[in-house]
Chains A and B, each alone.
Chain A
């Protein structure tokens, strides 16, 4: 027994107008200060005007949102008692808003204990609309919540099937002004979702097609979206790919690159998409040396039109294609390229390994490293050396 969860996805030019159809008396927008400054939050507020709802705004979500921010946002929601929670932003905002939603409905809960095992009984007070302003997180179409425990310097992979948004609105105009670096970071996050969703131990028939198509769209359109953000066709396809990848990996889980990326982000604050995409080629090399019957790189590489005579060649083809794409977009290919000093990496290695090994996504990999192998993976990613163990 397993499940496939999805929001209602409203997409394409003018999708934002869907907001006027929402029925209720009160809505709260959750966002960040930068999007307020860019006028994005005001656009959402304007789009909500025909609904006649009273609209309040919480705009204090920071990158890599903390458990404390989630508690503060939940207090805001409890104060205003909304029937709709409208999250507007990138993955940090959407994930934080999901956490706030849980605490709004269940003030008794510890946000670090939001889990997929218990029944939370959400939607007694509010429903949830996700409006992504980046093209990669996929959070608008997953129930995953990544929050940062600042005290432990650790990102926590949390979530419940109930924290799937009710509605996801993809309006390409909202991402037209996304800067090239953010477009590349988030687009490669989507590619990592697609690859890991297709190859994780929880892969399934419902998600395979989504992951394959998302990977193809990213390879085809991301370079143009980065080169010319005003190309609406490229923007639309990368935006769609991000949500499609979200639906894919959100129902089949991510894997090792996410476990390592979360650990890195919690300590060195490398942006999520940049971190997971940087690790992806290394984790493919590592995973490809596992049990042959668990591997799915050949089908993936074949679909992408890459050399794919066997699993080994397919994994190598994928690694090469991912590195070439990331390199062409000016992305770092090693941890050294990220500006991390070797001494800092070595000083933090024990915590990096501990957090990566304890991450909820690491255990979804079809080959799980031990502590020593995890350390060697971080070192390989630092130096840019092939993984041959």
Chain B
């Protein structure tokens, strides 16, 4: 059954997928840093939704939809319109190209990212495996 994106159920499904992924475990074994995935409105999504993931050495320790955005500051923030998220998650747009062209904006410690590009790629790969219902 498709899970609505973005939602608490969706990010928890992604946590489950990541924690079952041998390739993510391998790729992200040195990764330390939590994430906010910020999804800006589009289609029937009327307000910005923020999803949280606590990523630690190849595992996701926690994931949820943030009830009050702005209350916490994660190490990394990846933000973009829901239409761009959909393109990436349906493999219509390469995630690296999305970030390099500013369609998805990544902020945080870029030295960590540049040393762990494979982990970032595997993270996005996980998104593509979730059976997702988009608001557009």
Residues of A within 8 A of B (CB): 1-3, 110, 112-118, 154, 156-158, 161, 201-202, 357-360, 362-363, 370-371
Main secondary structure of the interface of B (DSSP, over half): helix
What is the total number of residues of chain B having a CB less than 8 Å from a CB of chain A?
A: 24
A370–B26 touching, CB < 8 Å: yes
A110–B111 touching, CB < 8 Å: yes
Leading 3 A-B pairs by shortest Cβ distance: A113-B111, A113-B110, A115-B110
Q: Give the nearest-CB partner of B93 in chain A.
A: A1
Q: A118-B110, A363-B117 are in contact. List 19 more A-B contacts (CB 8 A).
A: A1-B103, A110-B110, A110-B111, A113-B109, A113-B110, A113-B113, A115-B110, A115-B113, A115-B114, A117-B106, A117-B110, A156-B114, A158-B114, A201-B94, A202-B97, A357-B118, A358-B117, A363-B96, A370-B26
**Chain A residues, Cβ within 8 Å of B117:** 358-360, 363
**Chain B residues, Cβ within 8 Å of A3:** 101
A112–B118 touching, CB < 8 Å: no
Q: Give the nearest-CB partner of B104 in chain A.
A: A117
Residues of B within 8 A of A (CB): 23, 26-27, 94, 96-97, 99-103, 105-107, 109-111, 113-118, 121
> Would you mind naming 12 contact pairs between A and B with Cβ atoms under 8 Å apart?
A3-B101, A110-B110, A112-B111, A113-B114, A115-B113, A117-B102, A117-B106, A156-B115, A358-B115, A358-B118, A362-B118, A363-B118
Q: Give the nearest-CB partner of A116 in chain B.
A: B100
Bound form: Cα–Cα A370–B102 in Å: 29
Bound form: Cα–Cα A158–B110 in Å: 10
**Chain A residues, Cβ within 8 Å of B114:** 112-115, 156-158, 360
Bound form: Cα–Cα A360–B117 in Å: 6
B116–A358 touching, CB < 8 Å: yes
**Chain A residues, Cβ within 8 Å of B113:** 113, 115, 117
**Chain A residues, Cβ within 8 Å of B23:** 370
- Contact A202 to B118, CB < 8 A, known contacts A112-B111, A117-B106: no
Give, as a whole number of angstroms, the nearest-CB distance from A369 to chain B: 11
**Chain B residues, Cβ within 8 Å of A362:** 118
**Chain B residues, Cβ within 8 Å of A201:** 94
Bound form: Cα–Cα A116–B110 in Å: 10
Bound form: Cα–Cα A100–B101 in Å: 24
Main secondary structure of the interface of A (DSSP, over half): loop
B100–A117 touching, CB < 8 Å: yes
Bound form: Cα–Cα A370–B23 in Å: 8
- Contact A363 to B121, CB < 8 A, known contacts A112-B111, A112-B115, A158-B114: yes
Bound form: Cα–Cα A357–B117 in Å: 9
**Chain A residues, Cβ within 8 Å of B111:** 110, 112-113
- Contact A2 to B97, CB < 8 A, known contacts A357-B27, A370-B26, A371-B26: yes
Bound form: Cα–Cα A113–B94 in Å: 21
Bound form: Cα–Cα A202–B115 in Å: 20
Q: Give the nearest-CB partner of B101 in chain A.
A: A1
**Chain A residues, Cβ within 8 Å of B27:** 357
**Chain B residues, Cβ within 8 Å of A202:** 94, 97
Bound form: Cα–Cα A245–B100 in Å: 21
Give, as a whole number of angstroms, the nearest-CB distance from B94 to chain A: 7
**Chain B residues, Cβ within 8 Å of A115:** 110, 113-114
Bound form: Cα–Cα A202–B100 in Å: 12
**Chain B residues, Cβ within 8 Å of A358:** 115-118
Q: Give the nearest-CB partner of A372 in chain B.
A: B26
Bound form: Cα–Cα A191–B117 in Å: 25
**Chain B residues, Cβ within 8 Å of A360:** 114, 117
Give, as a whole number of angstroms, the nearest-CB distance from A71 to chain B: 14
Give, as a whole number of angstroms, the nearest-CB distance from A199 to chain B: 16
**Chain A residues, Cβ within 8 Å of B110:** 110, 113-115, 117-118
Q: Which of A2, A3, A201, A363 has the most chain B CB atoms inside 10 A of its CB?
A: A363
**Chain B residues, Cβ within 8 Å of A2:** 97, 101
**Chain B residues, Cβ within 8 Å of A359:** 117
Bound form: Cα–Cα A360–B97 in Å: 13
Give, as a whole number of angstroms, the nearest-CB distance from B130 to chain A: 21
Bound form: Cα–Cα A358–B103 in Å: 24
Q: Give the nearest-CB partner of A253 in chain B.
A: B96
